């Protein structure tokens, strides 16, 4: 894995719309979900048929969607959850919050987190977890710092401060023990080697509107940007594809009319992107041949996307929305198909912010 710069060459609508613009019904089971407030984050749990999700009230839930209900519900953050993560070395969940902490939860332990990582001065706005090195957690904050943590001791192993590096998103490079991508409001994308966090391994530029979300594979990083209504022609709302080997931007795509708030890389040369306008796009292809294969309208601003577990036989994608709902989708050559909808219960409008949410993390 070595150097980071690798040398190798009310519940939502029940309907969706295809790329042709024709509305089609999206089937699937519907059951009461765990969130009463805006669902802010979702990720696969590492177990078949499960996801982890967080909300604006500070709650984190573990949901067995195949059975139609939450199996764990942790309520320890006093402020909104900004990100959730799972790890093979943890039987539980990891969450970041506006309360400036990262917390670690274990199944069967409901009253308190098993660990709380304290050190950031402002909102923890980005969270990434190593899949290959046990206990390693990367966090970024609006305090312009990034930190590496040891989850087993709750110790901060290293940190780096860069003026105006207001962190918006982060993703660990798949299959690598040391490399993490990080986006910022200063219109830069940084690549960190966590073994030596004195400065980034690389800093890439080219944004007109800062990145809000990120996904990474071994050699590719995809970001989705904030933007103005309509996007395009310098207005943002685009997807940018970056090459880790060449350290340059390979492609730029626009298909959303408002800020791109979530992106995910999927098997079979597919990726998904979603927006504050409530649309979910499924992309197919590689390099210049990428196209929108299917589009679904979720009826509420999308806050987070996550690929399902790699060994999942049915689901390929999870989506969280501002109305408090979480959905599981299959995704293939025929497009998107909703498998289930976990509806919000008694969503409180004062926290749902149906009109005012900008797609940015406070």
Q: Kindly report each contact of residues 47-51 with a partner whose C-beta sits within 8 Å and lies 24 or more positions away, as own/partner.
A: 47/309, 48/309, 48/311, 48/312, 48/313, 49/312, 49/315, 51/306, 51/308, 51/318, 51/326, 51/328
Split at pLDDT 50, 70, 90, the class of 9 is very low
**φ, ψ of residue 349 in degrees (nearest 5):** -60, -30
Work out the percent of the chain whose per-residue pLDDT is above 70: 85
pLDDT at residue number 345: 75
Q: Which residues contact 39 (CB under 8 A, 6 or more apart)?
A: 33, 53, 54, 55, 56, 303, 304, 320, 321, 322, 323, 324, 325, 326, 344
149 has which bridge partners? 137, 156
**Alpha carbon of residue 141 to chain centroid:** 15
Compute the half-sphere exposure of residue 334: CA atoms within 13 Å on the CB side of its CA.
6
Split at pLDDT 50, 70, 90, the class of 26 is very low
Write the DSSP string, 35-68. Answer: -SS-EEEEEE-SSTTEEEEEETTSEEEEEETTTT
Distance CA 281, CA 251 (A): 17
Structure tokens at 328: 């599981």
Residue 356 neighbours by CB distance under 10 Å: 6
Structure tokens at 168: 């918006």
pLDDT tens digits, 100-144: 999 999 999 877 899 999 999 999 999 999 999 999 999 999 999
Averaged confidence pLDDT in the chain:
87
Do 221 and 240 touch, CB atoms closer than 8 A?
no
Verdict on whether the full-model pTM lies above 0.95: no
- When pLDDT is averaged across residues 134-159 and rounded to a whole number, the result is 97
pLDDT at residue number 129: 98
Secondary structure class of 354 (helix, strand, coil): coil
Q: Has residue 19 got a pLDDT over 50?
A: no
Residue whose tokens read 């022609």: 233
pLDDT tens digits, 267-277: 989 999 999 99
pLDDT tens digits, 300-352: 999 999 999 988 878 899 999 999 999 999 998 899 999 999 999 764 443 33
**Alpha carbon of residue 94 to chain centroid:** 13
pLDDT tens digits, 221-237: 999 999 976 655 658 89
Residue 310 neighbours by CB distance under 10 Å: 9
Q: Has residue 3 got a pLDDT over 60?
A: no
Q: Which residue has the higher pLDDT, 163 or 358?
A: 163
Secondary structure class of 351 (helix, strand, coil): helix
Q: Which residues contact 67 (CB under 8 A, 6 or more apart)?
A: 49
Distance CA 314, CA 310 (A): 10
Q: Which residue has the higher pLDDT, 18 or 137?
A: 137
Structure tokens at 239: 């997807």
pLDDT at residue number 20: 35
DSSP state of 349: H
Distance CA 14, CA 87 (A): 32
pLDDT at residue number 178: 96
pLDDT at residue number 250: 94
pLDDT at residue number 351: 38
Number of residues assigned to the chain: 362
Q: Has residue 13 got a pLDDT over 50?
A: no
Q: Has residue 85 got a pLDDT over 50?
A: yes
pLDDT tens digits, 184-235: 999 999 999 999 999 999 999 999 999 999 999 999 999 999 997 665 565 8
pLDDT at residue number 17: 34
- When pLDDT is averaged across residues 86-113 and rounded to a whole number, the result is 94
Secondary structure class of 223 (helix, strand, coil): strand
| Alpha-carbon distances, residue 158 vs 2, 30, 34, 148, 194 (angstroms) | 19, 44, 35, 5, 8
29 has which bridge partners? 340
pLDDT tens digits, 35-72: 999 999 999 999 999 999 999 999 999 999 988 999 99
Most distant pair of Cα atoms in the chain: their distance: 54
């Amino acid at each position: 894995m070595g150097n980071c710069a690798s040398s190798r060459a009310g519940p939502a609508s029940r309907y969706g719309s295809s790329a042709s613009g024709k509305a089609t019904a999206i089937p699937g089971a519907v059951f009461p979900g765990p969130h009463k407030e805006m669902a802010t984050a979702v990720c696969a749990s590492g177990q078949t048929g499960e996801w982890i999700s967080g909300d604006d009230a500070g709650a984190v839930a573990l949901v067995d969607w195949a059975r139609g209900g939450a199996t764990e519900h942790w309520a320890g953050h006093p402020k909104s959850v900004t990100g959730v993560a799972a790890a093979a070395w943890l039987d539980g969940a990891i969450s970041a919050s506006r309360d400036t902490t990262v917390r670690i939860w274990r199944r069967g332990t409901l009253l308190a987190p098993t660990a709380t990582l304290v050190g950031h001065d402002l909102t923890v706005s980005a969270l990434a977890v190593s899949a290959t090195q046990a206990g390693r957690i990367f966090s970024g904050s609006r305090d312009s710092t990034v930190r590496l943590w040891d989850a087993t001791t709750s110790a901060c192993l290293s940190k780096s401060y860069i003026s105006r590096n207001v962190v918006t998103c982060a993703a660990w490079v798949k299959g690598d023990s040391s490399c993490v991508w990080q986006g910022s409001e200063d219109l830069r994308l940084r690549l960190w080697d966590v073994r030596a966090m004195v400065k980034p391994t690389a800093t890439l530029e080219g944004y007109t509107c800062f990145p809000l979300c990120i996904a990474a594979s071994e050699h590719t990083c995809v970001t989705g940007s904030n933007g103005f209504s309509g996007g395009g022609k310098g207005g943002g709302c685009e997807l940018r594809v970056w090459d880790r080997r060449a350290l340059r931007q390979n492609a730029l795509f626009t298909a959303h009319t408002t800020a791109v708030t979530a992106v995910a890389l999927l098997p079979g040369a597919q990726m998904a992107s979603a927006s504050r306008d409530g649309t979910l796009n499924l992309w197919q292809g590689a390099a210049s041949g990428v196209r929108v294969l299917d589009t679904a309208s979720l009826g509420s601003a999308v806050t987070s996307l996550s690929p399902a577990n790699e060994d999942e036989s049915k689901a390929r994608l999870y989506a969280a929305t501002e109305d408090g709902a979480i959905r599981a989708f299959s995704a293939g050559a025929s497009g998107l198909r909703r498998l289930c909808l976990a509806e919000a219960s008694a969503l409180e409008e004062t926290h749902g912010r149906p009109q005012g949410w900008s797609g940015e993390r406070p």
